[in-house]
Amino acid sequence: MKHVLTITVLVFGTLLSGDVLRKDACYACHLAVDEDRDEDARIMTHIDEDIHLQVGLSCADCHGGDPTAFDDPDAAMWDNDTFIGAVPREDQPDVCGKCHTDPNFMRQYTASVRTDEIQQYWTSQHGKLLKEGNSKVAVCTSCHGVHGIFPKDDPRSPVYPTHVPETCNSCHGNADYMAEFNIPTDQFEKYQTSVHGKALLEENDIGAPACNDCHGNHGALPPDVVTIADICGTCHVNNRKLFISSHLNYDMLEMGAKQCIECHGNHGIQHPTDDLLKVGTQKFVCQSCHEQHGDKAAILATQMDSVIDSLSVRYERAQKKIEHAEQLGMEVSDLYADLDDSRRALIQTRTSIHSFNFATVQKTAEPGFKATANALEGAQGALAEYNQRRVNLFIMIMAASFLVIMLIFKIKNMQKKS
Amino acid sequence: MKIIDWIDERISLEAARKFAKKKEVPVFYGTVWYYLGGVALFLFIIQIFTGIMLTFYYQPGINTAYESVKFIVSKVSFGWLVREMHSWSANLFILFIFLHMFTVFFAKAYRKPREMTWLSGMLLLFVALGFGFSGYLLPWNELSYFATRVGTEIAGALPFVGDFILKFLRAGDEVSGATLTRFYGFHVAVLPLVAILILGVHLMLVQFQGMSVPPELEQKPEKRRGSIPFFPNFVLRDVTVWLVVFNIIALLALFFPWELGNKADPLAPAPAGIRPEWYFMFMFQTLKQIPAHFLFMEGELFGVLIFMIGGAIWMLVPFLDKHAGDPNFSDKKWNRVGIFAVAFIIVMTVWGYLV
């Protein structure tokens, strides 16, 4: 009999576990209260989808109180010592940190979960100001939401990569809200027009950097590492490698210049073009620090530009010829392999300018020139073969046509005779 | 001593000479249609020669078929020309068979005593379509792979035997390397053998029975009908037309080359614009228009059955058209059937390419 009872409890317990929230006094009452509110003022809209409730936590785990006191709001909340109600902004890091700083507790949900968020938060500008008593700064719920918190890799989450810029912008783009902090509020505006912003927001390329990729997330600060190249270099590995071994790395550090940012900008960073090296034009990027003419930088820029320009022109010429040969029906797939090599070398050459060394640029471009020459030679060969085919075919058609004419004469003759 | 005399001494050529001299080809307003069958024969001969040359380099197999065709068109001397001529003459071969068939149909040349010639011609059409279907897969490119998948699926829609036919054609459940090898075997061994046998019968019948003339002309005494000797007069005309067709193929080969496309990838999604060869387009387009369920059966099955019944009626027309040889009988029923068939094929084919 004892076993039967145990099994019954287990079976029913399992069946009812999905319905556990319905047995929660906080949930039941607040859901009813919410229904009387305007849609915008409701706090329980996404509660069922909240990751915390999904893994079995209840309202009381964050807010305290007694979830079993169904018909007695006072006992459930005000008379209960553990009840803290709406968590004050300044207390949020501690309340969330109760679980999120405990590896043993967090490990039960996922093996690789991090538990340093709160520690990092207190080192961030947000955390520092919160400690100083400024409660306008971002706290946990500012970014992650409140009742309806989704995991960061859920596209509905405000911290999903494509939503991060807008989430940060909800405070940082509000000039009135940010007035006392005395920092710009046009970052998002600029970011939207940037190469990174377009990739992330328009093309949904979640590999493209959002705010947190450069500034950090929980430990958000203006980039404060030794060189900016270390920030950009986490993605642009080759550029960083070349730049930190160049003389410009130390020169710029000494000058207090901001390295990558000086030439490329930051939030509004645009896709770099070869025009940045065109001496004598508005776009010539070195002129912001160097004198334009006669300066070593201008000479180097001209030299590097001439290599890139030369390779680029040859690449385009080869590409056009190959495409033309292909349109004429020639088999050119091998030439596309050469063209790919050439394109790769062109990209590498453009990257190599971060060495600020002409010899390095020349050496990098060398395989590109060779591949382009092969592609061009092959394309010209294909076009020459096509012309030869036309000539051969013309001769063949003429011969066949001559035969046709002779046959027609013969037939006419035979007709006359008969 | 001339070579011809040398041969004549050993095997008397007199019989052949007599036959050739005796054979006459009628001359009247419809003589021009006599060339169509000859052009189809010429194209078949080109197919055999270029096909043999392609087998010197072509290697069936999922890792070699595409590569070997690429090698043929890019590295083998005149390989491109051989492949282009093979592809173009294959398409023109089927076009001329269709034209030949319809002219024979409208001239009612299938009537007694040429019922067997019509039947053998129809069988040749089916063999030619088999050549086209099997040859299309051989380059193992994207379009041919997916078109074969769709084509074999349609054959698989048949009741009772569909599953067997599908597995027999594919040499398994899916279009794979085994299908390619099987199609190659059909294309270079089975079908040529069958085609040559049927073609032999077809040509023999034409020689025995002579060219058909319209019923009203047939009633005139033979001497009052215009005619020319088959050899050399008609043969020279035939050769002249063949040379013109040869020139057209050469021009098409140069200015409208057949693309090799991308190599087939069975795991990749089907690319857009999958379509069969043009001569299957009218059937493909019709099947696409039939709803998924029609009457008490699947739409595809219904379409296939309709085509089978239509094909059978078309094939048996010499036995169904009882008054074909009577010039005084004004029943135009079969003419209307023919016009409907031509219009249907043209409209569905054009529609298939427009959408």
CA separation, residue A378 to residues A77, A336, A338, B22, B215 (Å): 82, 10, 9, 59, 63
pLDDT of A11 strictly over 60: no
Q: How confident is the model at residue A22 (pLDDT cuts 50, 70, 90)?
A: low
Q: Which has the closest alpha carbon to A311: A265, A375, A258?
A: A375
Structural domain range at position A357: 296-417
Q: What is the ipTM of this complex?
A: 0.78
- Could you tell me the domains of chain B? 13-354 (1.20.810.10)
The answer to whether residue A225 sits within a structural domain is: no
A331 contacts B73? CB cut-off 8 A: yes
The answer to whether residue A141 sits within a structural domain is: no
pLDDT for the residue A2: 43
pLDDT for the residue B94: 97
Which has more pLDDT, B296 or A77?
Answer: A77
* Contact criterion met (CB below 8 Å) for B51 and B86: yes
The answer to whether residue A280 sits within a structural domain is: no
Q: Which of B243, B246, B248, B255 to mutate to test the interface with A (most CBs of A within 10 A)?
A: B243
How high does pLDDT run on average in chain B?
A: 91
Closest-CA distance of chain A to residue B114, Å: 30
Q: How confident is the model at residue B175 (pLDDT cuts 50, 70, 90)?
A: very high
B237 contacts A411? CB cut-off 8 A: yes
The answer to whether residue A41 sits within a structural domain is: yes
pLDDT of A308 strictly over 60: yes
pLDDT of A5 strictly over 50: no
pLDDT digits (tens, 9 = 90+) for B258-290: 988 889 998 888 887 788 899 999 999 999 999
pLDDT for the residue A225: 55
Closest-CA distance of chain A to residue B236, Å: 7
Q: What is the rounded CA–CA span in Å between residue A2 and residue A203?
A: 62
Alpha helices of A36-91 — where are they, by DSSP H?
A: 51-54, 59-63, 73-76
* Contact criterion met (CB below 8 Å) for B137 and B144: yes
B80 contacts A400? CB cut-off 8 A: no
Q: What is the rounded CA–CA span in Å between residue B43 and residue B87?
A: 11
pLDDT of A146 strictly over 60: yes
- Domain boundary (A37, A57, A86) is at A86
Domain count, chain A: 2
Interface of B with A in 220-249 (CB under 8 A): 228, 232-233, 236-237, 239-240, 243-244, 246-247
| Amino acid residing at B129 | L
Q: How confident is the model at residue A19 (pLDDT cuts 50, 70, 90)?
A: low
pLDDT digits (tens, 9 = 90+) for A191-223: 999 999 999 999 999 999 999 998 888 877 765
pLDDT for the residue B331: 65
Strands B297-298 and B293-294 come out as antiparallel
pLDDT of A13 strictly over 90: no
Q: How confident is the model at residue B13 (pLDDT cuts 50, 70, 90)?
A: confident
The answer to whether residue A171 sits within a structural domain is: no
Q: What is the rounded CA–CA span in Å between residue B337 and residue B316?
A: 13
**Which of the 8 DSSP states describes residue A275?**
G
Closest-CA distance of chain B to residue A390, Å: 7
Indicate the range of A2-6, A28-32, B266-270, B343-347 predicted with least confidence. A2-6
Q: How confident is the model at residue A224 (pLDDT cuts 50, 70, 90)?
A: low
A401 contacts B240? CB cut-off 8 A: no
pLDDT of A26 strictly over 90: no
pLDDT digits (tens, 9 = 90+) for B180-236: 999 999 999 999 999 999 999 999 999 889 889 888 788 888 777 788 888 888 999
- Domain boundary (A30, A63, A86) is at A86
pLDDT for the residue A4: 45
Which has more pLDDT, B179 or A223?
Answer: B179
pLDDT for the residue A23: 72
The answer to whether residue A265 sits within a structural domain is: no
The answer to whether residue A119 sits within a structural domain is: no
The answer to whether residue A353 sits within a structural domain is: yes
pLDDT for the residue B251: 92
Indicate the range of A151-165, A280-294, A399-413, B96-110 predicted with least confidence. A280-294
CA separation, residue B34 to residues A371, B27, B101, B119, B235 (Å): 57, 10, 11, 18, 11
- Domain boundary (A37, A61, A86) is at A86
Q: How confident is the model at residue B307 (pLDDT cuts 50, 70, 90)?
A: very high
Q: How confident is the model at residue A9 (pLDDT cuts 50, 70, 90)?
A: very low
Q: Which tokens hold the place of B101?
A: 């068939």
CATH of the domain at A371: 1.20.140
Which residue in A has a C-alpha nearest to residue B242's C-alpha?
Answer: A404
* Contact criterion met (CB below 8 Å) for A147 and A140: no
Highest mean pLDDT among A68-82, A226-240, A343-357: A343-357
Q: How confident is the model at residue A226 (pLDDT cuts 50, 70, 90)?
A: low
pLDDT for the residue A292: 57
Mean pLDDT of A90-103: 91
Indicate the range of A125-129, A242-246, A288-292 predicted with least confidence. A288-292
